[in-house]
Amino acid sequence: MTKTVLRIDASARTDGSVSRQLGDDILARLKPDTVVIRDLSETVPQIDGRWLAANMTPADQRTPDQRARLALSDAMIEELRSADTIVIATPIYNFGVPSSLKAWFDMVARAGLTFRYTEAGPVGLLEGKRVILALASGGTEIDSPIDFATPWLRHVLGFVGITDVQVVRSDRLMVDAEASKARATEDLERLAA
């Protein structure tokens, strides 16, 4: 049973967004006890030199300014840790993810918090969570050779330890809207199974 869902909306469109509608449809099927919403249509800051310096400073040695620089990142990581299911509702823009979603991942992929380095390479620290990707595209077919969003999302989620990734897709909307809706319905029904 899904208790807590972190919903991440990455579409720049707040009205008429297919990925946001898919996110709504997923939540209606999951019926979680708690939903935390992180809407990335608002500005998500890019990491910069001062952010990197704050992140590289041991937590007990950070200045007040450094702690303030990392406050949003800390809050986003806590949202991830607290959720048992994460719904990422995103369009595909120009074959990839929106820049706001990339900026969000930059904020949450932090050594010692969401992954750690070992002799064998990095190990994710957010195991035991499920992600449902709600993907929408006008022309890009999900998992086709020109889809750089879906494999990238699976990779970065695996990097932080999340390997249970399901996809609900409404792709190629501008090519065949009816077929796209049918694929989304099939994927949604699989979620309930």
What span, in angstroms and rounded, lies between the C-alpha atoms of 151 and 5? 22
Rounded to the nearest 5°, which phi and psi values hold at 50?
Answer: -70, -35
What span, in angstroms and rounded, lies between the C-alpha atoms of 43 and 34? 24
Nearest to 168 by CA among 147, 145, 144, 189: 189
What span, in angstroms and rounded, lies between the C-alpha atoms of 126 and 55? 19
- CA distances 99 to 2, 69, 171, 174, 188, Å, are 29, 20, 19, 22, 26
Amino acid at 2: T
Q: Tell whether 11 is in a known binding site.
A: yes
Q: Tell whether 137 is in a known binding site.
A: no
Nearest to 94 by CA among 131, 33, 64, 137: 137
Q: Tell whether 17 is in a known binding site.
A: yes
**Helices marked H in the chain:** 18-30, 49-56, 64-82, 99-108, 149-159, 177-192
Q: Tell whether 18 is in a known binding site.
A: yes
Binding region for FMN: 11, 17-19
Residues making up the annotated binding site are 11, 17-19
